[in-house]
């Protein structure tokens, strides 16, 4: 099993909750942590921007990543949403097994 931590940021609670619920209901993720708002400063289309965003930490597997990315992209209000996946190199075996079991289809 190749566990992933997938990260995205949403502009508001409504989109954060919609994405979290959709990926859990579709069994594309075992868990989504919706974190408190953060301030992001970034460059977009040649300008420095600042925005308040809500980070999502999504626990999934490599096998589910393509469908997870598609679902996030479809529900996310941004033209180019941040969607990055980090491999989980190590973790409590029971937890990693739970992630795999909850995303099994």
What pLDDT was estimated at residue 1?
A: 65
What pLDDT was estimated at residue 104?
A: 83
> What tokens were used for 89?
């190199």
49-63: buried (b, 16+ CB within 10 Å) or exposed (e) per residue? Answer: eeeebbbbebbbbeb
What pLDDT was estimated at residue 67?
A: 97
Average pLDDT estimate for 87-95: 96
Query: Across the chain, what does the average pLDDT equal?
Result: 96
Q: Give residue for tokens 């190749």.
A: 2
Give me the phi and psi of 74, to 5 degrees please.
-70, -35
- Per-residue pLDDT tens over the stretch 39-85: 999 999 999 999 999 999 999 999 999 999 999 999 999 999 999 99
The tally of domains found in the chain comes to 1
> What tokens were used for 26?
């579709």
- Taking the CA atoms of the chain, what radius of gyration do you get in angstroms? 14
Percentage of residues in the chain having pLDDT higher than 90: 97
User: What is the C-alpha separation between 38 and 41, in angstroms, rounded?
Assistant: 10
Give residue 32's domain range: 3-102
Instruction: Answer yes or no: is pLDDT of 18 > 90.
Output: yes
Angle at 32 between CA 77 and CA 99, to 5 degrees: 135
Distances (CA, A) of 18 to 45, 47, 63, 72, 86: 27, 29, 22, 9, 22
Domain harbouring 40, CATH code: 3.30.70.120
- Per-residue pLDDT tens over the stretch 72-85: 999 999 999 999 99
């Amino acid at each position: 099993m190749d566990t992933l931590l997938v990260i995205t940021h949403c502009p508001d609670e409504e989109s954060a909750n919609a994405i979290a619920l959709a990926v859990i209901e579709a069994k594309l993720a075992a868990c989504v942590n919706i974190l408190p708002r953060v301030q992001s400063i970034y460059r977009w289309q040649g300008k420095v921007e600042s925005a308040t965003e809500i980070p999502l930490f999504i626990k999934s597997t490599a096998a589910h990543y393509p469908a997870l990315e598609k679902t996030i992209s479809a529900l996310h209000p941004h033209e180019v949403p941040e969607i990055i996946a980090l491999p989980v190199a190590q973790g409590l075996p029971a937890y990693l097994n739970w992630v795999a079991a909850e995303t099994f289809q």
